[in-house]
Homo-oligomer: A and B are copies of this chain.
Amino acid sequence: MPRRQEPGPYELHPQLAADTHPLVTLELCELRLMDDANYPWLVLVPRLAGARELLDLEVGQRHRLTDEIDLAGRALRDAFRPFKLNVAALGNLVPQLHVHVIARFEDDPAWPAPVWGRVAARPYTPEALVERIRALQARLRA
């Protein structure tokens, strides 16, 4: 992995800021909604400056991250009853550490392939976005 400079303060990567909407700030992560109505798709971003790999987390941080993945997965399961959850930390294109938690259905546009690079993102309409955020926040704050 490439060497990197000493990180400054945490800041959300501009690509993630452009592709996602804020849902809630958790103890470790920002939890955000991917702006793609093809799939109920959450993204967790640990609020740690310079983190690129799961290996960059201390043990307490990585345990906390799995707790927040669990929270995100439960919210998706309760809200959408998916056939499967997909959880992934890839980061080949956006270097800031982030974890995808995606609700998958046997009739979604990429099934059974992973979602990345299959079909173009379908941004939410304003009304659908408001409704989806409300449904998820209700479950995340319960």
Contact = CB atoms under 8 A, between A and B. Distances in A.
Interface of A: 1-2, 53-55, 59, 62-63, 65-67, 69-70, 73-74, 77, 81-93, 104, 111-114, 116-117
Contacts of A66: 54, 62-63, 65-66
A89 B92 contact: no
Copies of this chain assembled into the complex: 2
Given A88-B89, A88-B90, A70 B55 contact: yes
Contacts of A82: 1
A69 B113 CA distance: 23
Given A63-B66, A66-B62, A73-B55, A83 B1 contact: yes
Given A55-B74, A67-B59, A111 B84 contact: no
